[in-house]
Structure formats: C-alpha cells, structure tokens
Amino acid sequence: MKRFSGTVAVVVAACVAVTPVQAQAASDPAAAARTVPLRDAVEALPVADEIRDGYERTKFKHWIDADQDGCSTRAEVLLDEAVTPPEVTGTCTIAGGTWYSYYDDVTVTEARGLDIDHMVPLAEAWDSGAFDWTAQRRRDYANDLGESRALVAVTARSNRSKADQDPAQWMPPHPPARCTYITDWVTVKTRWGLHVDTIEQTTLRNHAADCPNVPITTTPARVTTPS
C-alpha cells in the first residue's frame, strides 16, 4: 500500500536550498532528484492565471496499458493500493480485496466502488499549463505511475465531490487527511511543472503552515516521444 508513506516526494526548480539524492534521474538523464521541505516547495510553485480555453477531457488519453501486461493504469493503481490483495484472473479481472479511501476514511471491499482520482484533476492540470503540452505529455500525465502520489484509489463519492476543484475549493472531508492531501497536491504540481493561481497559492501556504514541514523528494516527469 503506497498511501501515507513516511516521506513524500516533490522537486522544485526554484532557487531554494536542496539536497541532490541521486546524480541522475532514472526517468530523465538531465533531471536530478532533489529534496526540499513542504513549505519551501509551496513557495517555489510558479504563479500564473489559469487558462481553461480549449479544454476537453478527451485530450488526456487515460487508462492505457503502458507495459502491455493486460492491466490498465486503473487496474495497476488498484493492485498497488490494495490493503488486502485482490484475486486477479484472465485479462486483469480483479475480484475481492480491500482498499482504504483516505479522503473520507472509508474502507472499500469492491473495486467497482472506487474511482482512480487524478490528484491534480485533468481540467486543473490543463488550466495550470497542460494546455501548452503535446498530446503525448498529456497522456503521460493522465497515466503517471512513476509518482505514487499522482493517482489514488478513493470512493467514487469523494472523487465526484472533488470533481475538478483545487484545494481552495475542496479539501478531503476527513480532517486528518488534509496534510497528506496538500503534500500530494504540491508533489504533483511540482513534478509536472504546473503553476498555481494566487488563491490556490494562499490556500496551500495556509494549510502547509499547519502541517509537518516534511522533506519531500522526487524527479521531474520525463519527456517522452510518441510511440
């Protein structure tokens, strides 16, 4: 189960004190992993107005089978986050198992009761910079299995309540989950070079001030070419 790990991941490109943790990132030879405290990571996020013009969900192709093992991205997340492992048969048919939806503190016993949430919703990603990406980069974003915080199995009810809202508009209804949620959000925005608007920045700053200033580490998302 990947949720609630002791150290979470984010990388910043701004001029803050960082500690390289490896000389070369596996996903991109030019990108070294770095570590920075949560509050510094919030301050390092670029600030810009959001742009919704031209957004369509279909511009983010998701739930692909990138490694061609028969399991889609959705199934891969379900298998990775299961508290009790499910049975997998045939073409990645999942039966049984249990999952913990940290947004609302609910244990789920059927995979069909779960949504796979994009931590930063597709529409929010578009607004925050993905409008200027290639179709391949949007596909990579929508299926990001390289960062454990990018996709999360949660109850359908909580995911649909969140919709495409940012933390200024929606936070998990389970209060103890909120520091994890803020850290996850900052991780994904930083990994993908997405900006925040001023209200979002203020919200993140205020929440981070009340959360442990944990060190967070990751590498920027790699740039791929169409296959």
pLDDT in tens, 117-143: 999 999 999 999 999 999 999 999 999
**What is the per-residue pLDDT for 94?**
97
Mean pLDDT along residues 43-47: 97
Kindly report, residue by residue over 105-116, the tens digit of the pLDDT. 999 999 999 999
| Amino acid type, 95 | A
**CB of 217 closer than 8 Å to CB of 33:** yes
From residue 52, how far is each of 96, 123, 127, 205 by CA, in Å?
A: 40, 8, 5, 24
pLDDT for 203 beyond 50 = yes
Q: Among candidates 162, 155, 120, 170, which has minimal Cα distance to 141?
A: 120
In which region does residue 34 sit, left (phi positive, over 0), alpha (psi from -120 to 50) or beta (all else)? beta
| Residues forming a β-bridge with 47 | 196
Q: What's this model's pTM, rounded to 2 decimal places?
A: 0.86
User: Is residue 216 within 8 Å of 41, Cβ to Cβ?
Assistant: yes
